Amino acid sequence: MPWRRVGRSEDFPAGRGRPVFYSRWRIAVFRAGPRLYAIGHDCPHQGGPLSQGTLDGPCVVCPLHGWAFDLQTGRSVNVPGASVPTFPVEEREDDVYLWVPE
């Protein structure tokens, strides 16, 4: 299984996003509420960096033009049909692991 350790828990502070670039994958990891979420890093509109977006409850808002994405499903909540991929992410002890396809 392609689980990859991507950092320590403390590297992912609450309420912020962090980019994780691994191989060909560009992923944004967020700590929102009690857990971590991982979604595609690049906004499907014009490639805005979602890791720098603002968290709004269960969503992240793109910093460029405001498209918002549900962190759990990757679907946009304000642009019908738009979405980003989601990735499994979990904490084990004090480390963070991300599942990325080979």
Instruction: Return residues touching ligand FES (CB under 6 A).
Output: 43, 45-48, 62, 64-67
Where do the DSSP E strands lie in the chain? 3-8, 17-22, 25-32, 35-40, 54-56, 59-61, 68-70, 86-87, 89-92, 95-99
Tell me the closest approach of the beta carbon of residue 36 to ligand FES, in angstroms: 22
Nearer to ligand FES, 64 or 77 (CB): 64
Q: Buried (b) or exposed (e) across 27-40, using 16+ Cβ within 10 A?
A: bbbbbbeeebbbbb
35/65 with CB nearer ligand FES: 65
CB of 45 vs ligand FES, minimal distance in Å: 3
Nearer to ligand FES, 4 or 45 (CB): 45
